[in-house]
Amino acid sequence: MGGVPCSDFRRGHLALVTGLALAAASGGAAAGTITVALSGDPAPGLAGVNFGAISIELSLNNAGQVAFLSFLTGSGVTASNDGAIWRDSTLIAREGNAAPGFSGVDFGSFLGPPVLNDTGQVAFMSTLTGSGVTSTNAEGIWRNSTLIVREGIDARGLGSANLGAPDFRLSLNNTGQVAFVSLVAGSGVTTTNDTAIMRNLTLVAREGDAAPGLSFVDLGGSAGAFFPPPVLNDAGQVAFHSFLVDTNFGTLTSSIWRDSTLIARADNAAPAANGTPPPTIPLVPRLPVSGSSTCIEPPRPRP
């Protein structure tokens, strides 16, 4: 299985929910440590197959359920089917199994850790193999067995362009919506407008578009324009960071948005405290668009 950094796994270690975590989720007292999965133990529902290395990146919901990614070992396990995504002892997806929604297409490697909401839904990203799969449509995002988005498809708000490869860091709310950063591909796409923030198949923000409510200012303007990944609440609102580029002077500043509403902008005065406005303090240095020394390039989703 490819696509997951080796540092995300510790062979022979456990994936655990402690009694303290369960108490925090349920409001009760700690009841001791509960083992969810143990490397070397049988993998539930898979005859002759055991848990191998288990990812250290877990998702825990308020019902005490845990979603995680693991390797598998044992009978019939090969490099093409040794990855699996679980919710407690329930298998959500396995590398090499048929990808729901397609004919002749299987799950490939799982990219990044799964995320879990309070209803028990698990969102995850996977590569694809099989019939009709090419380098332009080889990745997708699922919520349990429901396909949310596939690389290469059209999406609302992108015009004649389409979605490229999504980033593997997802945000899932309790209504089942997924927010993520994606590359954009196709007609009219350049390095200045090839990144977007999506909520399912709806565009939230795109690099190169005019910043809502601001004159002569565009979103993006730098590698890592929408880094870190967005967050999503149960009302479907998406909060995200974006660099802003001044189209007259070519300088960058940092900003925080909730959908199309500006929440905070570098170099703007912070809200007054006790009636006394504080001094204006820049959040990040201004720099030319061509500069990159202070910008963070988020890892691309491809392994």
Residues 265, 171 within the same domain: yes
d(CA 77, CA 71): 10
pLDDT in tens, 129-157: 999 999 999 999 999 999 999 998 877 77
Residue pair 167/121 in contact by the 8 Å Cβ criterion: no
Which range has highest mean pLDDT (186-195, 199-208, 269-278)?
199-208
pLDDT in tens, 108-130: 999 989 999 999 999 999 999 99
**Average pLDDT in the 173-200 region?**
93
Residues 8, 56 within the same domain: yes
Identify which has the larger pLDDT, 127 or 292: 127
Residues 58, 98 within the same domain: yes
Residues 179, 48 within the same domain: no
Kindly report the pTM of this predicted structure: 0.80
Using the predicted structure, report yes or no on whether residue 303 has a pLDDT greater than 50: no
Q: How would residue 195 be classed by pLDDT, with cut points 50, 70 and 90?
A: very high
Residues 193, 99 within the same domain: no
- Residue 287 is predicted with a pLDDT of 40
Residues 92, 179 within the same domain: no
Domain boundary among 117, 150, 183: 150
Domain boundary among 150, 178, 207: 150
- Give the domain range for residue 129: 1-150
- Residue 49 is predicted with a pLDDT of 98
Residues 79, 146 within the same domain: yes
Residues 96, 160 within the same domain: no
Residues 81, 34 within the same domain: yes
Taking alpha carbons only, the member of 220, 147, 228 closest to residue 189 is 220
- Residue 187 is predicted with a pLDDT of 86
**Average pLDDT in the 158-173 region?**
89
pLDDT in tens, 50-108: 999 999 999 999 999 999 999 999 999 999 999 999 999 999 999 999 999 899 999 99
Residues 10, 30 within the same domain: yes
Identify which has the larger pLDDT, 270 or 67: 67
Residues 140, 3 within the same domain: yes
Q: How would residue 18 be classed by pLDDT, with cut points 50, 70 and 90?
A: very low
Question: How many structural domains is the chain composed of?
Answer: 2
Domain boundary among 150, 175, 208: 150
